[in-house]
A = this chain, B = another copy of it.
Amino acid sequence: MTDRGKEDLTALRRLLHRHAERGWEEFWTTAFVAASLERLGFSLRLGADAVEAASAMGRPDGKALARARERALSWGADRALIERLGDWTGLVALFDTGRPGPVTAFRFDLDAVETAECRQAGHRPFDEGFASLDETTAHACGHDGHMAVGLALAGRIAALAPDLTGRIKLLFQPAEEGVRGGRAMTEKGHLDDVDVLFGFHLAGQFASGAVGAGCSDFLCTTKVDVAFRGVAAHAGMAPNEGKNALLAAATAVLGLHAIAPHRDGASRVNVGVLRAGTGRNVVPDRAELLFETRGQTAAIDRYVYERALEVLDGAARSQGVSVETRLAGGAVDGTSHPDLVALVAEKARAVGFTDVSLEGRIGGSEDFSWMMRRVDERGGRACHFIVGADRTAGHHNGRFDFDESVLPRAVDLFEALLRDRAGRGDDLRR
């Protein structure tokens, strides 16, 4: 890549970094990406055309969406695009070469993390003026870099068009944090015709120069929001008139953590947040809790989740209160296809990565897994890999930043994968 190209890529990443938006609120970001891709000749499916509303999880309320749209406009987003988006973010961009060939897809993610970015000297985004405009939200996971790579790849696609075959899809997914958006994009059908799918993550446990060519350890997880509703009463004067939502919630917390482990492998349950009650002398009429289940396999996660529903139902009944649960996120398991893992490894070496391993532990959950599973079910192949990058702090930490110098080579790797899968000529394989 030329020095100019590298500078542009860095600038692009920094622009995206500065406009950090939370999951499902990526209006500015979606509009920005959309405008860029439209210019390059991609045809777009935006917002409600990109995601299936019924499968969207962990959505903010209408007020938060309105605030986010307003802000996007105040940040200069194109009003027409914002209006097209309505209540939804995310986009799928299609480049049709007009020639027969496979459907090759690449997925990137749009959202930032709910964390305050460090605003002290020594944190480069702060020092160099591209820290997040929103004090409570930051690109502390690297999705800004992912998008920069994705947009650069789009430019390559446009430039290489005469040499490409088939159709090429770029998926810019909303709400990856909390694993909330991947399923919705999958359920919209965008993966149904995909022959080859690539996704990636920056950094993780890999340093600059390294690549982990195939992640296969996605943990299944389900995220659930719970609301108990009872009846308030004066705790001194009429305790018997209350229906105690907090007692139900406390009973549920103990019951959830006591769900038996599974013979077939590891499982987890965590009630991470509980908020209940309105005043010291009032029988609490409401309690909200946020919890998650995990399982080494989808079946184990499902077992824990179903047991959890029993526990919640029983706890509510025991206090005569109601309970509602809402799916707030979820990811399944998944394994990168070995052929593609080998391909990524080969191309990574080819473009100059010096430390290439076949295994790329993601060490957690990723809702790319929904897409992998769909592609796999339809007879295609998918692969998720890690592009190493030195980082200044752990992912999701307010001090997180990564070595931008890895971005150009990441673009080169994507181009190599593109050429291999969608190229006309010598590059064509298998």
Contact = CB atoms under 8 A, between A and B. Distances in A.
A312 B319 CA distance: 10
B251 A255 contact: yes
Given A263-B239, A314-B315, A273 B276 contact: yes
Contacts of A319: 255, 310-311, 314
Interface in A233-250: 235-242, 244, 246-247, 249-250
Interface of A: 178, 219, 221, 223, 235-242, 244, 246-247, 249-255, 257-258, 260-263, 266-268, 270-284, 287, 290-292, 294, 303, 307, 310-320, 328, 363-365
A268 B261 contact: yes
Among A242, A271, A316, max chain B CB count under 10 A is at: A271
Q: How many copies does the complex hold?
A: 4
29 contacts: A221-B236, A236-B268, A236-B292, A237-B363, A239-B262, A240-B261, A240-B263, A246-B274, A247-B253, A247-B258, A250-B250, A250-B251, A255-B318, A257-B257, A257-B258, A261-B266, A270-B282, A272-B279, A272-B284, A280-B328, A281-B292, A307-B320, A310-B318, A311-B318, A311-B319, A314-B314, A314-B315, A314-B317, A314-B319
A16 B255 CA distance: 47
Contacts of A273: 276-280, 284
A201 B284 CA distance: 28
Given A178-B280, A241-B263, A261-B261, 5 more contacts: A221-B236, A244-B257, A247-B255, A252-B318, A313-B314
Contacts of A247: 253-255, 257-258
Contacts of A364: 236-237
Contacts of A255: 247, 251, 254, 318-319
A246 B266 contact: no
Given A254-B254, A318-B314, A260 B283 contact: yes
A319 B306 CA distance: 11
A259 to B, nearest CB: 8
B261 A280 contact: no
Contacts of A254: 247, 250-251, 254-255, 258
Among A242, A277, A278, A318, max chain B CB count under 10 A is at: A318
A174 to B, nearest CB: 18
A67 B58 CA distance: 37
A242 B260 contact: yes
B294 A236 contact: yes
A332 to B, nearest CB: 15
Contacts of A318: 251-252, 255, 310-315, 318
Nearest to A328: B280
A337 B17 CA distance: 57
Contacts of A267: 261
Contacts of A317: 310, 313-314, 317
Nearest to A275: B275
Contact of A274 (B257, B276, B281, B315): B276
Contacts of A223: 280
Contacts of A251: 250-251, 254-255, 314, 318
Given A266-B266, A284-B271, A318-B318, A239 B253 contact: no
Contact of A263 (B178, B238, B276, B313): B238
Contact of A280 (B253, B272, B276): B272
A317 B310 CA distance: 6
Contacts of A277: 271-274, 290
